[in-house]
Each structure stands twice: as C-alpha cells, then as structure tokens.
Amino acid sequence: MKIINGGITKVKGIKGQGVHAGFKKEKLDFTIIYSERVCNAAGVFTKNKAAAAPVIIDREFLSDGKAQAIVCNSGFANACTGNEGIKDALFTAEYTSEKLGIKKENCLIFSTGVIGIPIPMKIMESAIDKTVPLLDTSDEASENIANAILTTDLVKKEVTIENDGYIISGITKGSGMIHPNMATMLCFIFTDADIPSNILKDALKVSVNKSFNRISVDGDTSTNDSVVILANGLSNVKIDTIEKHKSFCEALDFVCIELAKKIARDGEGATKLIECECIGAKSQDDADCISKSIISSSLVKSAIFGEDPNWGRIVAAAGYSGAEMELDKIEVYLGDLRIVNKGKSAGIPKEESRKELQKDYVKIKIIMNLGEYSSKSWGCDLSYDYVKINAQYHT
C-alpha cells in the first residue's frame, strides 16, 4: 500500500469537475464525477429518520449495486422539503444522465447545506450545463471536486493510495453535526479494482464502522450522511482470492480511517484532534461504546480545549457508556503518561500531564483490564468558535 499525490481522477476512467454555480456566494459549490464504465457500487447512509431527498433516491438507485456518476451541490441540503424535494432530486438525476448519456438510475445525487430550503432548480440546471463540458482527468479537476463539496470545512479532505496494482481514492466533507452512526458528511470513494458489488457492500459497511462511525464533533447526526464507493474494474485487477480480498479491505479501511480523522481534525472551531483508544474491554461492543463515549463527551472535549488534565471526566464518560467496568481495574494514559492507576490518581503533577494536552494530536488510552477487545475513536476539542459558527450558520 502506497499513498500517492492527487485525488479522484487518479483512478482509471474517472473524470470530473467542480465549479461555482451560484448555490453559494463565492466558493465552488457544485461537482460532477463520472466513470467511463458502469461501476459496481455500494452505499451506507444516515440513520436519521428525517433523511434528505437525495438519500431516499440514492438508496433506491443503489438497490441493483450499480452506478456511474455522482452529482453534488453544496449550500442547500434538500432535506425536509417534502415531495418537491424528491422531484428536484429526480430531475437532477434525469437531467444529468441525459447530458452524460447514461441511465438515470446510475446517477447518484447528493446535497449538503442548510436544511428546509428548496434547491433553486434554475441554478441546478445551469450548473449541470456548465459542468458537463468541463469534465476532466487533471489534478486541478480533482482539487476542484474536493473543494466543491465543502460547507463549513476549512480544508479539503482527500486520500489516494495505490495497492496491488489498483487505486483507491476518496474525498469527504464534514465539519459539524458529526457523531457516531454517520455524521453530517459526504464521502465519495472510487477504485479501479474489479470487485463484485455484494463484496463491495460488505467491505464498505465494515470500513464505515471502523472509521466514520467512530468520530464525533458535537453529538448531532445529520439528515444527509452518505458514504458511497464505486468500482469500475478498469485496472483489470480482480479481487477474486481470499488474500486479495483481505488486502482490499485493509486498503479501504486505511482510506476511510484517514478521511474520518481529517473530518475530526477539521471540526468546527477545533484546535486539536483527539484519539481515544480503549483496550482490554470485555466485548467489542463495550470497547466501541467506551471509546465513542469519551470522544463524544462535551466535558472531556472542553477540558482538552482548555488544556485542563481533568481525568475524572474521562473515567466518568467511560462509566456512563453502558459498558462493563470495574473502577479499581482502570488505567488511563495521556500519550505515554499514566495518569490513573487502579481507578485512582497516579500522582502525576498537573503541569506534566498538561503538556500532553498542549499537542495538536491528543491521545487518550483507557485500559479496562477486563478482556481482550479494543477500539479507537476520534474527535476534536470543543472551542468558543464552535458556538459562534453554529449560532450564525443559517444567516
């Protein structure tokens, strides 16, 4: 496995473009990504019962495990927009598919932005007209694509790797409304490996549970959360043995985890990335619950922002997670510094432990000493700027 420079268009047969269409005042806000061959495809979507129109449409379109293009606008979520929202999403798929010469059902639609406001469809139509002739395989096109899907994000988020003769490349957006069980995020992954859609679906589900379902910024789960993967097979590398399948899954896990960490680090107003590793839990569910509970705790996140080594908040978050726990067996580390031993203070001076919280990447490790299961989750600190950003988001 090797990380390479570049983005989505490094995958064979993939071209696209990101443009400023007018959904937002100035920034790039619309993208189309297209594969020259129909892809095997799979998706994982939000569990929010107020699912946006594009999520409803994409679930239906992906029922046959096929896709060929992605269309995404930023600025309007097309969520809580009733039947008109469904019609608008379907029109977007139909109009784009006509311009690309593909089946409507193979054109996946995504939207991100403010909830409850109908998409301005005149802008959508002109955006499609503008973008289709500009589809390109250049690095500039890749960069435009990655930037066009952002909302409150401060940086683009992409990872591209070469593995066993094929490429996997992913882009994502997400900065707020981020919480386990998906987040206010979109993630588009492309590969030129040749892999059946049923195996792709299983691999994606496992990877999402290891990555995007283990990040939290603020405890909110959005209406538009979507992760999709498209495989066009143009590398002619078939994933047809146990060894190749294992290698593909490891590569996909790497891409998803790296993208998830980029989301956590770019959390709205964040100054630090937090990693929590739970070791020695009684079950896998317990390990997952504990690591997620700690990185989701507003008190833990606030303490880390203030560089306050208040380890009691870490132990408390583990205690209310619902997982099995014996207090007198717990150890807690900040980096390599053990601050809790057998459920009590290890006597480390505050100034020494505070140094671990002054780092950009804060690592918490909690050892339960009850079993052999472990889990990692990622989050960010909770700063003053988070409130400012979200107090003014709609206006």
DSSP state of 268: T
83 annotated as belonging to a binding site for a ligand? no
User: Catalytic one among 31, 46, 81, 184?
Assistant: 184
390 annotated as belonging to a binding site for a ligand? yes
Domains of the chain (ranges; CATH) run: 2-264 (3.60.70.12), 273-391 (3.10.20.340)
**For residue 225, what pLDDT is reported?**
83
**For residue 387, what pLDDT is reported?**
65
- Give alpha helix (H) positions in the chain: 53-61, 82-100, 121-131, 139-148, 197-210, 242-265, 284-296, 298-305, 311-319, 350-357, 384-391
- Burial bucket for residue 207 (CB in 10 Å: 0-12, 13-18, 19+): buried
213 annotated as belonging to a binding site for a ligand? no
The model's pLDDT over 67-113, given as tens digits with 9 standing for 90+, comes to: 999 999 998 999 999 999 999 999 999 999 999 999 999 999 999 88
Partnered with residue 364 across adjacent β-strands are 276, 334
184 is a catalytic site residue: yes
Instruction: Report the candidate in 274, 2, 222 with the shortest Cα–Cα distance to residue 116.
Output: 222
pTM > 0.75: yes
The model's pLDDT over 137-186, given as tens digits with 9 standing for 90+, comes to: 999 999 999 999 988 777 889 999 999 999 999 999 975 544 444 445 89
The model's pLDDT over 302-357, given as tens digits with 9 standing for 90+, comes to: 999 999 999 999 999 999 999 999 999 999 999 999 999 999 999 999 999 999 99
Other beta carbons within 10 angstroms of residue 312's beta carbon come to 14
232 annotated as belonging to a binding site for a ligand? no
Check pLDDT > 80 for residue 44. Answer: yes
CB 114 within 8 A of CB 394: yes
CA distance linking residue 160 with residue 167, whole number of Å: 7
